[in-house]
Amino acid sequence: MDDALVELVAANLAFVGTHFALSHPLRAPLVRVLGDRGFQVVYSLVAFAALGWVYVAFKSAPTADLGGSGDMGWIIATVIMLPAMVLFAGSLIGNPALPTPDASDRARQEPAGVFIVTRHPLMWSFALWALSHIILMWSWRTMITALAMGFLALVGAHLQDGKKQQAMGDAWEEWQSKTSFWPRFGRIFGVGPLWWMLGLILWLIFSWAHLQIGGIPAGVWLWF
């Protein structure tokens, strides 16, 4: 394997590994020593450093060294990213999984919006993003990074259920009983027009920015 790809694998393992370690086994002892604020500073510094390493290694790795999946793969990836953006947009408001003071109260409410699809819309939006890039079969650097991020999103979501249940008790158990870990995509058309409108806007903006930032066209902009 190319040395640059070996470094990219190492960088992704570091990012995923440090995230899991700091979010779970190391969190409690570090909070006891550093306090909540100190822990958040350390967590953020480690995360940004590891992600920065992923970025540098990604930029150094070969581009377009796989055959690609052609127009059909591009169409499928483009379609997948639309519900991903709908889930992403709807996950930012009223999400009991986010560390907010009223998280327990939110967990006792009836699911609405994207939460009728899954209780982890943010994580599934990342997983769908990863899947769309894997489908493209564009390069090894993309496959490695997408697999790592998809793994982090889904395993992280599963582990989050246990952590939230421990922290929120009955409130999270109630939320779990009313929602699903696995997306029920048949319900996504019922999340409401607001989230579809915002998702569509994000879908267009992010895919347009892909060319401006990464130098590679994405989504519908490939054909314009």
Q: Which helix (H) or strand (E) holds 101?
A: none
**CA-based nearest residue to 206, from 114, 88, 91:** 88
What whole-number distance in Å separates Cα of residue 32 and Cα of residue 38? Answer: 10
Which tens digit of pLDDT belongs to each residue from 155-181? Answer: 999 999 988 888 888 999 999 999 999
Which tens digit of pLDDT belongs to each residue from 176-195? Answer: 999 999 999 999 999 999 99
**CA-based nearest residue to 91, from 55, 128, 47:** 128
What whole-number distance in Å separates Cα of residue 198 and Cα of residue 17? Answer: 33
pTM equals 0.92
What whole-number distance in Å separates Cα of residue 131 and Cα of residue 95? Answer: 23
Q: Using an 8 Å Cβ cutoff, are 54 and 11 in contact? A: yes
What whole-number distance in Å separates Cα of residue 224 and Cα of residue 212? Answer: 14
What whole-number distance in Å separates Cα of residue 156 and Cα of residue 145? Answer: 16
What whole-number distance in Å separates Cα of residue 218 and Cα of residue 73? Answer: 12
The answer to which of 63-77, 80-94, 114-128 has the lowest mean pLDDT is 63-77
Domain boundaries, the chain: 1-61, 64-223
